[in-house]
Chains A and B, each alone.
Chain A
């Protein structure tokens, strides 16, 4: 396998953009990534699109060539990957594999979702299609309620408290307030976080990520060609994708995500590092409990201790290992198909030292964890300076 580097990254702001359509968002992110890599569309040899549900959200299918041709990328393989909220993490994994295997040199990954043209109830219904529609979802569940059931059991087994969940929300809003591209740039207090509108007990509105529009893109190249394009290549040191049951009721223990553990272990092994070496991370905080469980499954902290770990401030910007300096899905926003690629964009910005007001002090080695559904897909990527 050849070493692979990210040579360009770009994203749109995340938010509610009634005047923008899905294609224009994806094209904006793609063009920014091309400019960042000093590359022309004609140099892209393969294109991957991460998108969860363009057909349901905006009534458009066959999205990969629909977007790549709009970017001026002609004739090359153009492939859409759907893996729920891990769609563009998975697209990144497959693009990496093509470059690592020597199939293509310059490969673009774009992730996009346009969600806000639908009502919240309809969005819940579309997102629910990423669960088991013959069982759990038919009973009236939403993704919030599935993660609420995870939180409830985590509280039962480990003594996790609402204050622990709220600490994740307060911290991510605090970070997002410094991110000019975040959907909700607003710090919140612990009291607010604890007293939000109930969504699915024990989760309230402040435990839930946002419904957003947005796109993100990155360009990959073999490491030995990276400097043809950029002074600041960022190396993909380890990456893995893993899978698990779609239905929560098929899992033996819902307080852990086996796909996160497996992808994390494989990515650590490939990178030749351990959890202790990771200086910062972007974790998939679709719900506050998901960040807590992921911090345990990735070995940042022992099983059951993710809540106190967050409350004690270890994951804040000034903590031992900052988590979600971008603001995470909670504050930066969660256009689901764009999220995995946006996490990579944040890792790239931090590693290059270009993250502005939210730049971390220790930023040489970062990890991104992108989760699909209630844990059926996970992609873990470890990036560092080349």
Chain B
């Protein structure tokens, strides 16, 4: 699974129709250790810019990351 650092993030309170039941939730753009960036959903604890994160799964084609130990 991929690892990286948080480039930017937000917590979404006003969600689009398809995600209404999940709000509030956090999304982030991750700078990957292998190069490039990916937009991901953050699970678990909230993350801030610079935090190390690791991918935990891909759910419906959406990469999900959480704060690295």
Contact = CB atoms under 8 A, between A and B. Distances in A.
Contact of B14 (A122, A124, A134, A156): A124
B27 interface: yes
A139 B25 CA distance: 10
Nearest to A143: B16
Given A140-B25, A141-B27, A153-B7, A200 B41 contact: no
Contact of A152 (B10, B40, B62): B10
Contacts of B37: 249-250
A140 B41 contact: yes
B14 A125 contact: no
A148 B10 contact: yes
Contacts of A140: 12, 15-16, 19, 22, 25, 27, 41, 62
Interface string B39-61: 11100000001000000000011
A166 B19 CA distance: 28
A202 B49 CA distance: 13
Contact of A124 (B8, B10, B16, B63): B16
Contacts of B39: 135-136, 139, 141, 247-249
A200 B25 contact: no
B68 to A, nearest CB: 19
Interface string A115-148: 0000111101100100000111111111011001
Contact of A142 (B9, B14, B38): B14
A247 B12 CA distance: 18
Contacts of A125: 16-18
A142 B18 CA distance: 11
A66 to B, nearest CB: 27
Contacts of B25: 140
A124 B15 contact: yes
A254 B49 CA distance: 13
A134 B39 CA distance: 10
Contact of A139 (B8, B11, B27): B27
A70 to B, nearest CB: 31
Nearest to A199: B14
A231 interface: no
A349 B20 CA distance: 42
Nearest to B40: A139
Interface in A175-216: 197-203
Given A152-B10, A200-B10, A249-B38, A138 B61 contact: yes
Give the bracket for the number of chain B residues in contact with chain A. 20 to 34
B49 A156 contact: yes
Interface string A286-321: 000000000000000000000000000000000000
Nearest to B22: A140
A148 B12 CA distance: 9
Contacts of B15: 121, 124, 140, 142
Contacts of B22: 140
Given A142-B15, A247-B39, A149 B61 contact: no
Contacts of B29: 149, 248-249, 254
A150 interface: yes
Contacts of A124: 14-17
Nearest to B46: A201
B35 to A, nearest CB: 12
Contacts of B49: 152-153, 156
B13 A198 contact: yes
A144 B8 contact: no
B17 A145 contact: no
A200 B13 CA distance: 6
A219 B19 CA distance: 42
Contacts of B62: 138-140
Contacts of A128: 16
Which 10 residue pairs of A and B lie closest in terms of their CB atoms, listed nearest first?
Answer: A148-B10, A136-B39, A121-B17, A153-B8, A149-B8, A124-B16, A125-B16, A249-B37, A201-B11, A140-B19
9 contacts: A119-B17, A121-B20, A125-B18, A137-B16, A140-B16, A141-B12, A152-B10, A249-B29, A254-B8
Interface of B: 7-20, 22, 25, 27-29, 37-41, 49, 60-63
